[in-house]
Amino acid sequence: MTLLGAGAWSAVVLGGGDPGDPFAAAHGAPVKALIPLCGEPMALHVLRALHDSGRIARVAYVGPTTPVLEGLLNLRVTDHGTLLSNLEAGVDALRSAGLAPGERVLVVTADIPLLSAVQLRDVLDHAPEAALVYPVVRKEACDAAYPGVKRTYVRVQDGTFTGGNLFLLDPDLIGQFLPRLREVLEARKTPWKLAGLIGLGILLRLLTGRLSVARLEQKVSSILGVPARALITPHASVGTDVDKDEDLQLAETHLGQGRPTPAPNSNPTAAL
């Protein structure tokens, strides 16, 4: 594992969304990222965490912005309509601005306002070397941090996890894995297509909780054609996005109390 210092990362913040999103409209915002939270746009809390982490050299923001956001970003990118198109446009904008040799890219959605600078720094500092790194959080960590909050979990041999709303990538390799990743995402709602991509045996073992994280990493790496790694993090905020009023109230409550400093952990964010 290589620990990366300040300036070794740039970031793409995904702040776009459906202009007809009823959740955003109910709160008087054009898109979810601009819903007011503690008197500020939700995305501002995420941008502040990036800035205060001391690890991010520049930020490309994809989606509509406001003047208060623009002080914490370097590049504005037009919403291209889909997650992967926005990801690609954001990385292209960073490339045009000039990425340093070896610089990696953090991709984060603008709807995880509970993420703190300290937590983000811990994730980045413990990121393994891989073309694609996807943080996951144990159910126990989510239940401890935010009791009663409902999230989607997947059970594997190593435990029960929810996925993070950020991931880390090597921009030099994005062209190799993005087409395959697009295929997987398009097939995810059609079981027979998904089985064809990942293999029926792997799919059945995953559905029955008999697949290990290590084996899943191997399969994902094989499908995408690049090294892919999971990163277990104790920070529940990484997997706690705001999708409904209950989530918004949770964020209001926790941010109103001030961001807690994570307790010392003898086993911090760990790559498998």
Q: What is the secondary structure of 52-85 as a DSSP string?
A: HHT-EEEEEEES---HHHHTT-SEEE---SSHHH
Predicted local confidence at residue 262, as pLDDT: 43
CA 86 remoteness from chain centre: 14
d(CA 50, CA 161): 24
Q: Give 202-223 pLDDT, tens digit per residue.
A: 778 777 888 899 999 999 999 9
Phi and psi angles of residue 104, each rounded to the nearest 5 degrees, phi first? -110, 170
Whether 104 shows a pLDDT value over 70: the answer reads yes
Q: Give 27-55 pLDDT, tens digit per residue.
A: 999 999 999 999 999 999 999 999 999 99
Q: What band does 18 get if pLDDT is binned at 50, 70 and 90? A: confident
Amino acid at the residue 40: E
The SS3 of residue 41 is strand
Question: What domains appear along the chain, each with residue ranges and CATH number?
Answer: 9-260 (3.90.550.10)
Q: What band does 246 get if pLDDT is binned at 50, 70 and 90? A: very high
- Hey, what's the torsion of the CAs at 55, 179, 229, 59, to 10 degrees? 10
Q: Give 57-96 pLDDT, tens digit per residue.
A: 999 999 999 999 999 999 999 999 899 999 999 999 999 9
Q: What band does 198 get if pLDDT is binned at 50, 70 and 90? A: confident
Predicted local confidence at residue 150, as pLDDT: 86
